[in-house]
Structure 1
Amino acid sequence: MSSASADGAEHTVTLKNETDGKIWVGAGVNADGSAELTGLPTLDPGKSATVTIPENSGAGHWRGKFFARQGCEGESGSTFHCAVADCGPFADRCSTGEQPASLAEFNFDRADGMAPWYNVSYVNAVSAPITIVPDGVPPPENGGECAAVGCPTDLLSACPPENLTKDAAGKPIVCVNPNRDAKTAYSNALTEKCPSAYSWSKHDAEAGNEVVRQCRECTGMTVTFHGTGGGAPAPGGDQPAGDNGPQNAVPRPDKAPVDGAGKGVGLNPVDGASEALAASGAKWYHNWASSSAGVTTPEGVEFVPSIWGPNSVTEQELGNAAREGKHLLGFNEPDRADQANMSPEQALDLWPQLEKTGLKLGAPAVSVDADKPGGWLDRFMQGAQARGLRVDFIPLHWYGGDFTPAATGQFIDYLERVHQRYNKPIWVTEYALIDFSQGTPRYPNEFAQADFLKRSQQAMSDLGYVERSAWFALNTETSPTGLFYRGSPNASGNAFREVK
């Protein structure tokens, strides 16, 4: 794919309003000949507009920033002013420097072979949370070039009270950095909540920081201004009109932490897994094995063993499970030839040996169609009933290829159908957004994934029969959908940690 710079086309910046109120987009430029922008859009909630960057005029580059002006009123050109990020008396452009606010900063420099450069800056202040996602390129699996930056999460709730400004109704609107050139309680709090955004002026000099990115192959960028309440959807597509899924899948206002349905993770014992597990806040985990060897289990966290396939039904592995577990997950995707690859009858023949562990026992976790009459799981469950075998709960796997907010409704529909069929507690032991329909897996950007994680946890917490869920996976070394990369949480990791 050729970049906009390579083929002579100018880059674009698409600006999206996912806050709960109208915003007036503001912009500023560096004092280096970059062209000032006029005709800036006003956006109602849920709306977007695209600006073409004037890279071919003036200095032959554009270096500048975008921000959300909020709480504006008055007549443009005379009495117009804004409560947040005020920058002069015009509704469609800025004539003064902006008051403290969140910034999306860019360097579109045609002379720089690594450009565009981009970052989210809370160095001066934080108001509406910002994310930046490159357009026209696939999201990288492990960060690096063309990775998204920022976090679609409530940041004002982390503001030290002495730095917080509220409106007349008592709603927080902006948190101002008391010292942009030093590490403070402000910068520490924002770095904890969103490590991929600047929180103080020297943040980019810290070892291992991920606050500035470049993307040579992109056609432009999408900047999303998110609501401070956390309920607005993140990048990943618009909800189809009239399609909110089942009523219990509609997210509740996120004024309190989401009550997780026994939140857990699936993990492999890669480097840093123990540290990531401890930092994640997971209440339980599994590793598709009978022993937790290779991973340190934090205090208060439960390891749940698995008997992966027919070759795992051994005295040693069953003994491992009995010693380390209270629950036991049955065979892993026996309906797939590249996984446990078992018939229902073979699984039923081996099942009494799993029962002898005395652990609470989950059915084999099929890859698809757990709700289908005559499917693999249905045949197993009918056979278990006929033979008098014990199944205490139903583990499920689910991967969604729809990257819009409608995915949550599709996910919950599946859980509902399975529960209605078997009337047993459900554990969701693998789930994420991955599209397998084209052969090569396709992934959403990390903020769409984080939004789905948050919405799905909210929805499952309303379902009394969902006892536990485990995100796939803990580390990006296992899957691009992982929550942690080299010990640092990404957007999904931060969303996961907010779930209580």
Structure 2
Amino acid sequence: MTRSLLFPSLVLWFCLSTIPSRTLAESKPDTTHVSPFFDEHQLEGASIHGHEVHDKRKRGGRNSLLKRCDASKHSHGSKTPASAQYSNSVFPAESKKWGLAWPNGDALYTWSPYLPFTASEHGMEGIPMLWGWSQVDDFSRVVIKGYATKVLGMNEPNEPTQSFMSPQDGISLWKQYIDPLKTQGYYLISPACTNDQTGLDWMQSFVEGCTDCTIDAIAFHFYGTDPRAFVEHATTLHETYNKPIWVTEFADQNFSGSGGQASMPDIYAFQSSVIEFVENTPWIEAAFPFGVMHDMQGVDEWNALLTEDEWPTSLAYNYFG
């Protein structure tokens, strides 16, 4: 599989000024013509970490972001966010394995079937997702032959606040809407469960029950503070299913309910370990750090890849260089 997924520079990606903006009236879904661009109508009803996707708007808008990008083109490093000056020990990622999960558009995936309509013009590959049952109408209408080359399965189907469904329902959804895309040239990436026992159990039941299904790669989400657990979970999934691995969300985040969150030095150390593992593991095909947004949906703010002033954070620079 060709790993032509990512942007050569996060700052360059932020500065794509040729992507036109649309008013809400212009972006209203058209039932007679499929337009492959992202807008807030198209994500209505989807949820990430228990919150509606349309709540995850970046403040300031594209115009203010482009002004900052334009200023950075004429600066000599003075516009680098202050936080980026705190760590020189984490090396920038070298390979094209690093992706962005961002519901504000212009991302590799947006937790929906919809893709940025100018992504391909800038060397970016958008990947549609069938988030869950709530998106089947949009998904079946939009994701057709030639629309994309890869597709992501359901978002955390083992979690009650996400696309929550039984493995049997997941199999039905997969067989009806995703599996047929294989004959249309799509690379099929599994539902992404969380990195706990419920996630492992759900995936096992799903794969074992979907005996006549095509699953090209296994996806998962990781939230934890120990990079060794990240490695162990990815390795377990790879060895269990003998398939490539996609990490479609991850952050140095403690959701256990006990103990504190990681310090910034801890997060840099976590990031360094994860980058080294992903870069040097052939069966890891893509990894998507969380998150490029202001509302981090319960994930500790130190993991943010975008500052309040809409500059890439030092973590973002380390991932995307």
**Bucket of the pairwise TM-score, normalised by the shorter protein:** 0.5 to 0.7
Q: 1:286: how far off? A: 1.1
Q: Which amino acid aligns with 2:206?
A: F
Q: Report which of the two has the higher share of strand.
A: 1
Whole-Å separation in 1 of the counterparts to 2:110 and 2:150: 13
Q: Deviations over 1:263-287 (max 9, x none)?
A: 1011121xxx65xx6xxxxxxx211
SS of equivalent residue, structure 1 residue 356:
helix
Whole-Å separation in 2 of the counterparts to 1:296 and 1:460: 24
Aligned CA-pair RMSD: 3.1
Distance 1:370 1:321, change over 3 A: farther
Distance 1:295 1:450, change over 3 A: farther
On the 8 A contact 1:329/1:361 being kept in 2, the answer is yes
On the 8 A contact 2:112/2:129 being kept in 1, the answer is yes
Aligned residue among 223, 247, 250 for 1:431: 250
Q: TM-score, normalised by structure 1?
A: 0.43
Give 2:219's aligned residue.
Answer: 395
Distance 1:491 1:309, change over 3 A: same
Aligned residue among 187, 197, 200 for 1:360: 187
1:317 and 2:139 are equivalent in the alignment? yes
Q: Which amino acid aligns with 1:420?
A: E
On the 8 A contact 1:474/1:482 being kept in 2, the answer is yes
Give 1:259's aligned residue.
Answer: 94
Q: 1:311: how far off? A: 2.5
1:483 and 2:305 are equivalent in the alignment? yes
SS of equivalent residue, structure 2 residue 256:
coil
1:346 and 2:169 are equivalent in the alignment? yes
Give 1:306's aligned residue.
Answer: 129
Distance 1:491 1:442, change over 3 A: farther
Q: What are the residue-to-residue correspondences of 1:486-497 with 2, within 5 Å?
A: 486-497=309-320
1:380 and 2:206 are equivalent in the alignment? yes
Whole-Å separation in 1 of the counterparts to 2:234 and 2:121: 30
Q: What are the residue-to-residue correspondences of 1:454-469 with 2, within 5 Å?
A: 454-469=272-287
Give 1:331's aligned residue.
Answer: 154
On the 8 A contact 1:394/1:425 being kept in 2, the answer is yes
On the 8 A contact 1:327/1:361 being kept in 2, the answer is yes
Distance 1:433 1:298, change over 3 A: farther
Larger radius of gyration between Structure 1 and Structure 2: 1
Whole-Å separation in 2 of the counterparts to 1:365 and 1:433: 18
Structure scoring higher RCO (CA < 8 A, sep ≥ 6) equals 2
Q: 1:309: how far off? A: 0.7
Q: 1:467: how far off? A: 0.5
Give 2:69's aligned residue.
Answer: none
Q: Deviations over 1:94-128 (max 9, x none)?
A: xxxxxxxxxxxxxxxxxxxxxxxxxxxxxxxxxxx
Q: 1:292: how far off? A: 2.0
Whole-Å separation in 1 of the counterparts to 2:161 and 2:286: 26
On the 8 A contact 1:348/1:383 being kept in 2, the answer is yes
Q: Deviations over 1:140-197 (max 9, x none)?
A: xxxxxxxxxxxxxxxxxxxxxxxxxxxxxxxxxxxxxxxxxxxxx9x944435x4217
| Identity %, equivalent residues | 22
Whole-Å separation in 1 of the counterparts to 2:118 and 2:255: 30
SS of equivalent residue, structure 1 residue 286:
coil
On the 8 A contact 1:434/1:442 being kept in 2, the answer is no
Whole-Å separation in 1 of the counterparts to 2:312 and 2:262: 17
Q: Report which of the two has the higher share of helix.
A: 2
How many aligned residue pairs are there? 239
Q: 1:318: how far off? A: 2.3
SS of equivalent residue, structure 1 residue 484:
coil
SS of equivalent residue, structure 1 residue 304:
coil
1:191 and 2:78 are equivalent in the alignment? yes
SS of equivalent residue, structure 2 residue 82:
coil
Q: TM-score, normalised by structure 2?
A: 0.66
Whole-Å separation in 2 of the counterparts to 1:298 and 1:487: 23
Distance 1:296 1:448, change over 3 A: farther
